[in-house]
Amino acid sequence: MNDRTPAPATSVTADIELSLAAIAAAAPGFVPRFGVVLGSGLGRFADQVKPLKTLDYASLPGFPPTRVGGHAGRLVLGHVGPTPVAVLQGRAHYYEHGRADAMKVPVRVLARLGCESMLLTNAAGSLHREMPAGSVMAITDHINFAGVSPLFHEPGDDRFIDMGAAYDPALRARLHAVAKTAGIVLHDGVYIWFSGPSFETPAEIRAAGRLGADAVGMSTVPEVVLARHAGMKVAALSTITNLAAGLSPVPLTHILTLDVARQAAATGWRLVHDFLAAPDG
């Protein structure tokens, strides 16, 4: 089996059951309400979770190794305020192995654990000078420019999921309410997914702008599709780390992405914490 070959359905099912058994043994009776995926720069938010148990991905069958800086590869079970959460500290990306379904097992495990909703975070480049580095954007919709799906080879008619309201309006409204209370400027916008790992060309960014994109990145969309397929509501936040290609004379690097994401992390941490800790969270 090469890296582009999806895992057989029987293998995925077995990995899910084995991971659920490992989690049940480590945290008996724990039922999270929110699943969280922490992207580049926000990984240390997991330190703000009042932990019940932390498990390395390596101990959970089907959880992918993380090979990108800023992605620790741990599942943190615990509470943010009164809200029980399951936090995925890091993700696998399509560009690491050519598989859009790399996060299938983790997302389905969170759904099976009881998560009703999922909050995803990422680092992204801005297509607008009025949304500079350090800004935070709530994703309202996305464009799948990579053209692949984590549901390729998925059996059954339930793979034809409705993506008309992929990003839940009520969850996004709560993000805005929390941001307003905290004095945080929260932008809204459309996220466009490129496969990476190379950054986009200026021509690609011009095309993305004409398609209606506001921010660009290399992640998140597969997890959104998987979460919706699993029946979870979704909210997502982008930490803006740079202006996209052609909009700034500064060369784009992953080191720059991580540095700016860490500098902006305090705003993102506050927003994620207050959102999850809200009484109706």
186: CATH: 3.40.50.1580
CB distance 83 to 276 below 8 Å:
yes
Closest CA to 107 of 60, 157, 143: 60
Q: Give tens-digit pLDDT for 196-212.
A: 999 999 999 999 999 99
Task: Tell me if 2 is assigned to some domain.
Answer: no
Helix axes 221-229, 104-113, angle to 10 degrees: 40
Q: Per-residue pLDDT averaged across 238-251, rounded?
A: 85
Instruction: Count other C-beta atoms under 10 Å from residue 74's C-beta.
Output: 21
The pLDDT score that the predictor gives to residue 181 is: 96
Q: Per-residue pLDDT averaged across 88-106, rounded?
A: 93
pLDDT band with cut points at 50, 70 and 90 for residue 39: confident
Task: Tell me if 59 is assigned to some domain.
Answer: yes
The pLDDT score that the predictor gives to residue 69 is: 53
Residue 228: give the domain boundaries. 9-277
The fraction of the chain above a pLDDT of 70, given in percent, is 89
The pLDDT score that the predictor gives to residue 45 is: 78
State the total domains in the chain.
1
| 189 vs 8 pLDDT, higher one | 189
Task: Tell me if 3 is assigned to some domain.
Answer: no
Task: Tell me if 267 is assigned to some domain.
Answer: yes
Q: Give tens-digit pLDDT for 54-78.
A: 999 999 999 998 765 554 789 999 9
- Distance (Å, rounded) from C-alpha 277 to C-alpha 49? 10
User: Is the peptide bond prior to 197 cis by the omega test (within 30 degrees of 0)?
Assistant: yes
Task: Tell me if 47 is assigned to some domain.
Answer: yes
Q: What mean pLDDT value characterizes the chain?
A: 90
> Considering only 38-42, 109-113, 250-254, which range has the smallest mean pLDDT?
250-254
Task: Tell me if 66 is assigned to some domain.
Answer: yes
Task: Tell me if 165 is assigned to some domain.
Answer: yes
Q: Per-residue pLDDT averaged across 107-114, rounded?
A: 98
**Which residue carries 């932990």 as its tokens?**
51
Phi, psi for residue 225 in degrees, rounded to 5? -60, -45
The fraction of the chain above a pLDDT of 90, given in percent, is 73
> Considering only 45-49, 160-164, 207-211, which range has the smallest mean pLDDT?
45-49
The pLDDT score that the predictor gives to residue 1 is: 40
| 257 vs 153 pLDDT, higher one | 153
The pLDDT score that the predictor gives to residue 48 is: 82
CB distance 60 to 107 below 8 Å:
no
Q: Is the pLDDT of residue 7 over 80?
A: no
Task: Tell me if 228 is assigned to some domain.
Answer: yes
The pLDDT score that the predictor gives to residue 278 is: 83
The pLDDT score that the predictor gives to residue 248 is: 77
Q: Per-residue pLDDT averaged across 239-256, rounded?
A: 80
